[in-house]
Every structure is written in C-alpha cells, then in structure tokens.
Amino acid sequence: MGGDYLIAVLSNIGMISFIALSAYLLLVVGEISFGQQAFFAVSAYGSGIATAMWGWPIWLGLLWGALVAGVAALVVAIPTVRLRGLYFSVATLAFAEMVRLILEIFTYQVEIDGELVGPNGSDGFRDIRAIYDSNVSAFEYLLIIYGLLAVVLVGFLILERSRLGAIFRMIGEDPMLTEMQGLNVTAHKILAVVLAGVVAGIGGALYAHLTTYVEPKIFNVMLGVHGLAYGLIGGLGTAFGPLIGVAIDIGLLESIRAISGYRMIVFGGLVAVLLIVRPRGLLDEAAVHWLRVRWRELRRGLRRGWRRAEG
Amino acid sequence: MLRVESLSRSFGGVAALEEIDLAVADGEVVGLIGPNGSGKTTLFNVITGVHPVDSGRVLLRGEDITDQAPARIVRRGIARTFQNLRIFRRMSVHENVWVAQHSLPGVGPMTLLSGRSAGERARRAEVDGLLDAVGLADRRDALAGSLPLPDQRRLELARALARSPALLLLDEPAGGMTPAETAEMAALIRDFAVPGRTCIVIEHKLDLISALCQRLCVLNFGRKIADGAPQEVLQQSDVLEAYLGRDAGDA
Amino acid sequence: MVDFIQNCLDGIMLGSSYGLLAIGFTLIFGVMRRLNLSYGPSIMVGAFVGTLVYLEFQANAVAIAAATVVGAVIVGIYVERLCFRAIRRGAAVASMVSSFVIWMQLEEIVTVVFPDRTYFFPPLVSAAPVELGPFFFKLENVVMFACAAVMTVWLHWLLQRTRFGLALRAVSEDPRAALFMGINVGAVMSLAFVIASAFGGVAAYLIVSADGQITPLFGLWATFKGLIAMMLGGMGSIPGAILGGLLLGVVEAQSIWYLGTEYRDLSAYFLLFLFLVFRPGGLMGQLAVEREQAATRRV
C-alpha cells in the first residue's frame, strides 16, 4: 500500500464527508433527501467551468461552486419545502435525477489553446486542471480538502450550540410545536436546505478539481443515498456522526482486503443489525447528551481538584 | 383580552365548533369544560391558528388574528400546553424551556449564534429560575423524554411561561395525575402562572377548576351550553346531563 | 395522429409493467407507512432464482415463473424481518436506510453468485407482433397488460370483500386501534409483505421474460419505476398504482418518439416533480384529507 493510495483514500473520505454532512443537516431537520448529489454535481460542473473555461483562480472557483450549489438548493427548496416525509424525499430524488439527466445532454465547450474544453453531454467534462497548472501536489490538495472540512465541521459544532441549531433540531422533532414557539418553520427549513446545498457544493467543487474529469453518471442516486446512510450509521446526535459513518464504510471496510469481494454483504448486514439496536445511529441524541453531561461533570471535578491542590 | 365571535369549524362534515362566542377579560381565569370530543381542544387549535376557521373571528386585544400563521399568533403573546403532552423528547429539560425564548424580542437572528453574550447568560439564568419554580431544578440536565408524566406537564408549563405570555392556554394541565399531584399542580398554577395574566384552562378535574377559575364555560357537541360563575353553571340541568352525567357513566 | 396513438398504445403496454411494480410498492407502503427501497432488488433476486432453475434444469416457463415468485417471497420475508419487523415503529427513516443497505447486500450477493452480470432469460412467448389495422402489439406486452388487469381485480376483491382485506385496511388506517380490535397486526403486515412480494415476483417474471435477459441493475430499475408510478398514482392507492404506471408509460413513449431517447427519463422525473409540487396526492390522491387527519391526530 503506497502513499499515493493512502492519499487517494483519504481524499475520497474527505469529499464524501461533505455529502454525508449535507444529508445529515437535513436529517436533523427531519427530512430525508435522496438528492444531495445534485448539489455536489452542480458545483462540480460550475466550479470546473469557472476555472477551466473562464480561467478563474481555484479559490474563486471553489467559492463559485458553493454559491451555485446554494442557489440551486434555494430553487429546489422553495417549491418543495412544504412537502413532508416521503413526498419531500421523492421530490429531492426527482430533482437530482433531472440534474443528472440534464448534464447528460448539457454541452458547452470553448476552444482553449486549440482544444475544445467544457462539458460535453454524457462524455463528461475533461481537463479541469487548475490544481495541476498551479502546481498543487496531491498532498497539498489533501490538506486543502481537510482544511475546508475542518472549517465546515467547526461551523456545524458552533451551530449545534446555538439557538439556530436548536431550531433545526426542534423542527426535526416536532414542526407544529416549533411553530408554537413563535418560529417560522418554513423559512428555517429553507435555510437548512440552502446550507446543506452549500456544504455538498464545497465537496463537489473539490471533487472536480481532484479528479480533473467529471461525468454525469457519477452523480447518480447511489452517491446521495450513501451520504444519507452515513449519518444514520454514525448517529444523528452530532456532526461527528456522519464522519464516523464515512470512516467505518470507506476507511475500515475498504481497507480490509479479505472481504473485498463481499464488502457490501458484510456492511449491509452490519448496518441493518445496527439500525435495529440504534435506529438513530451510534452517536444518537441520547448518547451525545450522556457524553456531554459526563464531560461537564469531569470538568467540574477536575476544577474542584485543582482548587483543592492550590489551596 | 380575547374575543371569539361566532366561530365555526368542522372536520369532514362533522361540526367540531358551532357558532362559539366567548369573551375573556384581562386577568380573568376561565375554565373550559365539556365531555370528550366537545370541541375544547379544537377551540385552542383554532385560536392558535393550527386549524383554519370555517367562519367567525378571533380577536386578541381587539386585533383580528383569525387565520394568521401560528407563529405570528403566538408571537403576539399567547402560549399553550397540550393535552397529549408535547415536549422535545430528545432535548434536555433545560433546553426545552430555553427553546421557548427563541422568538422573543431581543433574541433575533443575530443573537442566534452568539452563545456567551451577557443577554444570553441572563436568559439562561431565567430558564433555571423557571425550572426552580416548577420544581424541576434538580432534573435540569435530564433528557426530557425520560421524565415521569407529572414532571413532563410541569415542563410544558415552564416552557409556556418562558415566553411571558399575556394569554395562557392550558390544556388539561393535570391530565393523568393522581389527586395529590393534581392539588400540587393547582397550587403551582394559582401561585405562579395565573398572577398577572389571563388564562383559559381545559380540565376535567373539578377540584382544579374550582381552585382556579372565577368563570366556567361549558361546551357540548361543539356548542356553548353554559357560561358563568362556577356554582351557577354546575347546577344547570343540561350541564349536569351533558357533562357530569356522561362522565359518571364513563367511570 | 397514427404515431401518437401507436405511442399511447406502446406506452400503455409498457406502463402496465410499471403498474405491476407499483402495486407491490403501494401495498407495502399502505400498510407499513414506510418505504421499502429493496423491493426492486428483492424481486431481482427472485428473477435470478428463476434464471438458476432455468440454467440448472432447463425447466419450462411455469417452473421458472414459480421459482421467481418463490424467490421473491423468501427475500421479501427476509427484508420484512430485518428492516421492518425488527425496527420499532416511529423509526421510519431507519427502516428505509436499512432497506437500502440490504439492497446493496442483495446486489452484491447476486454479483458473487452470477459473475457474468447479464444472463439470458427464456421468453414466455416468442411470436411476431400482432397487427391490428395500422397498429402493432407485441404479444408479451398484451400478456403483461392482461396480468396487470387480472391482478388488480383480484387484489381489489381481496381488499374489499374478505376478512383479511378488512383487517389489512384497519391496520393501514390505524395500527393501534386495529391491535385493540384483536387483529394480529404483525401477521397482517407480514402477509401483506408476502402478497406484495409475490406480485413483485410475477411482475419481475413478466418484465424480464419480455426483455429476454436479466442483470443485477434490474433491481434499481424496478424500485425507481415502481416508486415513480406509485407517486404519480397516489401513495397507498391500488387503482392509482395502475393509473400511475400507465401514465408513466405513455409519457415515456411519447417523449422517446417526439424528443428522443435521452429525454425519456428526464420527462418522467420532470412529470413526477410537477406532480409532487402541484398535486402531491397523485392522480387518486387523498392528500388533503390525510393532512387534515394528521393535523388533528397530532394536536
């Protein structure tokens, strides 16, 4: 197992984590999305077009990708946010498949240095070479991926301690009761969908520049449903949950060679059993709450001990 | 404070409320009684905008709030509890009361993310004060879903009070409680919830009603059949027949 | 005009297979109020069991069909036990995700047992298309349409005229109340799952034999076509499932003819999206009623 392979696996874990976090945010507000891969796709194409065709710098391309994804999420959110449960889920699925199928026929190419560059329907979009042109090594790019992931994760952790995060959890548990606290459920849900779109978008933009080549069929529903499953495996109590889910699937199982041909058989069975025991994942709200209380007690105990030692 | 004018609401052809008129003055505590299915909870739901009305009007301090979005109605100073207990079971006791402050003035979107400001610390202290008052201080960090039923009712009361509502709607605050717990709840409401505000209380337990209310209003099959001082209302023959007669038959 | 009508006829024939898939879906959803994503993959496994019987014994059509149905039912029971029965009520998301990971599992099992991916599947009938005036019919599609019609009528009879049907409708309306009425809710749910899987098995046999081949991708295809047809028709409604299937078939056939093959799925999803936004209850929808009931129940 060489270093390149390790970097590739870690990069993949990093990028899929964005989709998992994106789906997780919607699970927190009580909605299941089968369509987060659409925002990943929109941003991959958008940022690729910006850097490869318009010659924008990478950082601006990434920002642009996230922005495009956010706008796309807003466009989906407005008509669908009133739908509940399965209706919302299927609407996100329909939207995501529409995006993928439109990308299958979407052609927009310009000639750069005697070569045609740009998305070409189902043949995909080649030569998104911005990171190679600016001599960013695979390892440096890995650091960029994890740096951005850390920023997003810190954002989630701040959110979770804030009133806004509490509002998202309230909506996930009981929208009517949330409304009865004087809160506009619809507006907050739209906000959640847009934020989730932006998070997926960051992942998509990073992905396009890592692989330099994207094609529509990568963004099929399997990508989105995997992202969804990761949150439920790792747990819905904290943003670390989806990351744990990703780590278990890609990090652990992919690296055990003995089960390579049977990975999904083992993984599927394990997860099904896990969901029987813990329907909201390993780190569900109760587990996180328990940990938080223990942590607080520990800190209090330490402080008391410290004072005693001083005095 | 609140005026309801010839309010009607039906579900699939069944009239849940028919031409209800009700006026509640500032500072009054009105008991709303009637057999199961007589429309008491539906009246709360219509007042708070959960169900749209078919006809009629709801006025709060003279302003028409009919068919407004629930969140807007609630922000005008109404808070309620629920007959079948609604709490955020996956949040702690403290958080359950804390979340009620989200839409209060001064807690706008800008303060949403700042956890440690002075204002926020004061509001946290306020929550602890409320929990202390309803006797849940020592359960502060417990998961709300793990509380026994009487404590959950107390928690709902604390959450409603956290919004300092001018009008408080209590839906069976002692539902499912033993007589001793009911007496405790009645004392808590009387001493802590009622002072300085207007209340409507739905309750089947007459000892709680008589401990709290100056006025009783009786619903039966979606119609108001009596309204007045408790002693008078409870002696009306149709009230006895509709409410107590059937209640005795049920038991 | 002839083209348009021929497209409609083709669409109806195609749509009857979607309708068949949607019936099983809607039956499970109606009773469980949860989505079974591994519905398609479990009937795909059934079809591979049929393939196995054909490859090993050169069996005739009846035996292959029976093997397909039995396979689908056995896998259906496995899914029901693992993803639905074992997960407590209220955890609908967990059930759905569980059914998704089982889907992945089933697909991999099939790939391990059948490494060549694409296998020949013996056709039920092999005759030239029937000509009727200016129009053409494929015989296997006519069989499919007839089966869909017979199964719908039978299911309607089962639901409306038998004690089991009554129990099933009671469970679907309110499982708690049904329990208090002495109905064995668990047994009714299991049986509904078995019936749905058997329907799925029949649908799988008809569709796969009409195609003449089977791949593991059939699972994904069946889940999505069945899901779309169910949503178009209105969730939980049996006539809706058939109508939704036919509508989907016709729209697909027209898009292929007038817009081109690459627009086939795009139009289907676009239609679905429009329905969800403007008429979420589907063709036979009762959404308004449901929403009202839900609101009342929750307060």
**B71 within 8 A of A179, measured Cβ to Cβ:** yes
Q: Specify the DSSP element, H or E, that contains B172.
A: none
Give me B83's structure tokens. 């007959």
Please say if the pLDDT value at position B140 is more than 70.
yes
Q: What is the pLDDT of residues B93-103, one digit of tens each?
A: 999 999 999 88
Please say if the pLDDT value at position C53 is more than 70.
yes
Which residues of chain C make contact with A261, given a CB cutoff of 8 A?
A: 112
d(CA A294, CA A308): 21
Work out the burial of residue C151: count CB atoms within 10 Å of its CB; fewer than 13 is exposed, 13-18 middle, 19 or more buried.
buried
Chains interfacing with B (3 or more CB pairs < 8 Å): A, C
Distances (CA, A) of A224 to A18, A51, C223: 11, 25, 16
Per-residue three-class SS string for chain C = CHHHHHHHHHHHHHHHHHHHHHHHHHHHHHHHCCCCCCHHHHHHHHHHHHHHHHHHHCCCHHHHHHHHHHHHHHHHHHHHHHHHHCCCCCCHHHHHHHHHHHHHHHHHHHHHHCCCCCEECCCCCCCCCEEECCEEECHHHHHHHHHHHHHHHHHHHHHHHCHHHHHHHHHHHCHHHHHHCCCCHHHHHHHHHHHHHHHHHHHHHHHHHHHCEECCCHHHHHHHHHHHHHHHHCCCCHHHHHHHHHHHHHHHHHHHHHCCHHHHHHHHHHHHHHHHHHCCCCCCCCHHHHHHHHHHHHC
d(CA C83, CA A224): 20
Which residues of chain C make contact with B51, given a CB cutoff of 8 A?
A: 295
More confident residue, B27 or A86: B27
pLDDT value for C135 = 77
Report the chain A residue with the minimal C-alpha distance to residue C230: A90
Q: From B184, B235, B238, B243, select the one nearest B211 (Cα to Cα).
A: B184
Please say if the pLDDT value at position B13 is more than 90.
no
Average pLDDT of the residues of chain A: 90
**B51 within 8 A of C292, measured Cβ to Cβ:** no
d(CA C109, CA C122): 22
CB contact under 8 Å between C265 and A83, yes or no, is: no
Please say if the pLDDT value at position C291 is more than 70.
no
Q: What is the pLDDT of residues C78-97, one digit of tens each?
A: 999 998 888 876 677 888 88
Strand partners, C120: C213
Q: Among A229-243, B165-179, C254-268, C275-289, name the one with the lowest average pLDDT.
A: C275-289
Q: How confident is the model at residue B25 (pLDDT cuts 50, 70, 90)?
A: very high
Which residues of chain A make contact with B91, given a CB cutoff of 8 A?
A: 166, 169-170, 173, 285
C299 touches chain B (CB under 8 A): yes
Please say if the pLDDT value at position B104 is more than 50.
yes
Please say if the pLDDT value at position B114 is more than 80.
no
Cβ neighbours, 10 Å, residue C291: 13
pLDDT value for A67 = 97
Q: Among A156-160, A202-206, B232-236, name the one with the lowest average pLDDT.
A: B232-236
Distances (CA, A) of B143 to A207, A286, B115, B139, B154: 40, 7, 21, 9, 14
**C207 within 8 A of C217, measured Cβ to Cβ:** no
Which residues of chain B make contact with C289, given a CB cutoff of 8 A?
A: 12
CB contact under 8 Å between C292 and B41, yes or no, is: no
Query: Residue A311: how many CA atoms within 13 Å on its side-chain side?
Result: 5
pLDDT value for B95 = 93
Q: Specify the DSSP element, H or E, that contains A5.
A: helix A3-28
Q: Specify the DSSP element, H or E, that contains B32.
A: strand B29-33
CATH code linked to domain C2-250: 1.10.3470
| In chain A, where the domains are located | 3-310
pLDDT value for C13 = 84
Please say if the pLDDT value at position B113 is more than 80.
no
Reduced to 3 states, what is the DSSP secondary structure of residue B196? coil
pLDDT above 70: percentage of residues in chain A? 96
A57 touches chain C (CB under 8 A): no
Q: How confident is the model at residue C238 (pLDDT cuts 50, 70, 90)?
A: confident
d(CA C267, CA C16): 18
Please say if the pLDDT value at position C294 is more than 70.
no
CB contact under 8 Å between B51 and C289, yes or no, is: no
Q: From C194, C196, C163, C195, select the one nearest C181 (Cα to Cα).
A: C163
pLDDT value for A257 = 64
pLDDT value for B251 = 35
Q: Which of C25, C33, C96 to mutate to test the interface with A (most CBs of A within 10 A)?
A: C96
Q: Which CATH architecture has domain A3-310?
A: Orthogonal Bundle (1.10)
* Mean pLDDT across C117-124: 88
Residues 226-255 of A with CB under 8 A from C: 228-229, 232
C-alpha angle with apex C11: C8 to C13, nearest 5 degrees? 115
Report the chain C residue with the minimal C-alpha distance to residue B11: C292
**DSSP-assigned letters across all residues of A121-177:** GGG-B----HHHHTT--HHHHHHHHHHHHHHHHHHHHHHHHSHHHHHHHHHHH-HHH
pLDDT value for C90 = 67
Please say if the pLDDT value at position B48 is more than 50.
yes
Strand partners, B7: B20
* Cα end-to-end distance, chain A, whole Å: 55
Please say if the pLDDT value at position C103 is more than 70.
yes
Chains interfacing with A (3 or more CB pairs < 8 Å): B, C
CB contact under 8 Å between A95 and C231, yes or no, is: no
Task: Tell which phi-psi region holds residue A111, choosing left (phi > 0), alpha (psi between -120 and 50) or beta.
Answer: beta
CA B144 to chain centre: 19
Give me B204's structure tokens. 């089947």
Q: Pairing state of beta strands B167-171 and B78-80?
A: parallel
Chains interfacing with C (3 or more CB pairs < 8 Å): A, B
CB contact under 8 Å between A182 and B163, yes or no, is: yes
- Count chain B–chain C contacts defined by CB atoms under 8 A: 10
CB contact under 8 Å between B11 and C289, yes or no, is: no
Reduced to 3 states, what is the DSSP secondary structure of residue B152? helix
Reduced to 3 states, what is the DSSP secondary structure of residue A207? helix
Which residues of chain C make contact with A230, given a CB cutoff of 8 A?
A: none
Average pLDDT of the residues of chain C: 86
pLDDT value for A50 = 94
Q: Which of B14, B51, B156 to mutate to test the interface with C (most CBs of C within 10 A)?
A: B51
Work out the burial of residue A55: count CB atoms within 10 Å of its CB; fewer than 13 is exposed, 13-18 middle, 19 or more buried.
exposed
Q: Pairing state of beta strands C119-120 and C213-214?
A: antiparallel
Give me C10's structure tokens. 């083709």
Q: Specify the DSSP element, H or E, that contains A111.
A: strand A110-112
CB contact under 8 Å between B102 and A182, yes or no, is: yes
pLDDT value for B155 = 95
Q: Specify the DSSP element, H or E, that contains B214.
A: none
Alpha carbon of A67: minimum distance to chain C alpha carbons (Å): 24
Reduced to 3 states, what is the DSSP secondary structure of residue B134? coil
d(CA B154, CA B174): 9
Please say if the pLDDT value at position C299 is more than 80.
no
d(CA C38, CA C226): 11
Alpha carbon of B241: minimum distance to chain A alpha carbons (Å): 35
d(CA A173, CA A30): 7
Determine the residue type at B64. Answer: D
Q: Is the dihedral of CA A245, A249, A250, A253 positive or negative?
A: positive
Q: Which of B70, B71, B112 sits opposite A164 (nearest CB)?
A: B112
CA B180 to chain centre: 21
Q: How confident is the model at residue A1 (pLDDT cuts 50, 70, 90)?
A: very low
More confident residue, B238 or A189: A189
Q: Which domains does chain B have, with CATH numbers?
A: 1-77+166-251 (3.40.50.300), 90-164 (no CATH)
d(CA A213, CA A202): 17
* Mean pLDDT across B17-46: 91
Cβ neighbours, 10 Å, residue C5: 11
* Mean pLDDT across A260-289: 85
**B173 within 8 A of B185, measured Cβ to Cβ:** yes
Q: How confident is the model at residue B245 (pLDDT cuts 50, 70, 90)?
A: low
Q: What is the pLDDT of residues A96-140, one digit of tens each?
A: 999 999 999 999 988 888 888 889 888 889 888 888 888 888 889
Q: From B166, B98, B103, select the one nearest B136 (Cα to Cα).
A: B98
Q: What is the pLDDT of residues C64-76, one digit of tens each?
A: 999 999 999 999 9
Distances (CA, A) of A307 to A293, A299, C169: 21, 12, 67
Q: Is the dihedral of CA C53, C56, C60, C63 positive or negative?
A: negative
d(CA A15, CA A200): 9
Q: Pairing state of beta strands B215-220 and B29-33?
A: parallel
Q: From B28, A86, A151, A283, select the one nearest C29 (Cα to Cα).
A: A86
